[in-house]
Amino acid sequence: MSTTTRLSGSIAAATIAATLAVTGSAGAKAGERTFQQTYPFASRLCAHVQAGRGPIHLRPFSAQVLADCATLNSGFTAAQSAVLGAQTSFASGLAAHKAAIAAACTPPVKHPSLCRRTRRSQHAAIVALRREHRAAVRLYYTTIEANRRAFWAAIRSLPGGRGIPVDRPIPRQDS
């Protein structure tokens, strides 16, 4: 096997691994990630400050940093609970509407007009459910991104807080 073949094979393997790593994390639905996965740098900073091993320049302000960490964590928990509740509501509502369609339209269909009306009304209800679900998901991503910005603005405003790496912006998704 030539060096070029081995090198191209290694590059292909690395590309596939990187693609799988990105799609694995990007494919997470709203509310599925933990606090540590959502805010990796912030959670590490909070854990270090909690343990008394935070950045030297921030140690005099550890009470303020811990208060900001608590605010970030409580905001995340509230947003996560809300979106998970919305997802549960969406799943149960969708199942109920599909069951209503199945009950009215089970073959052999004895009343085609009833089946059509049921499909139309249940479809409209399903569309409304999807809109509500999307709105809840968008609110989740908007909230956790706003919380991230507020947290890092507070940390960066402290003396010595400028050099700390910040978490990446959280991309908004519709799932």
The per-residue pLDDT for range 73-100, each reduced to its tens digit, is 999 999 999 999 999 999 999 999 999 9
The per-residue pLDDT for range 96-133, each reduced to its tens digit, is 999 999 988 888 888 889 999 999 999 999 999 999 99
Buried b (16+ CB within 10 A) or exposed e, 82-109: bbbebbeebeebbeebeeebeebbeeee
Tokens of 174: 């519709």
Q: What are phi and psi of 143, to 5 degrees?
A: -65, -50
pLDDT number for residue 163: 83
pLDDT number for residue 7: 43
pLDDT number for residue 10: 46
Total-model pTM: 0.75
Angle at 165 between CA 160 and CA 166, to 5 degrees: 110
pLDDT number for residue 24: 42
**Residue 151: closest CA among 44, 21, 60:** 44
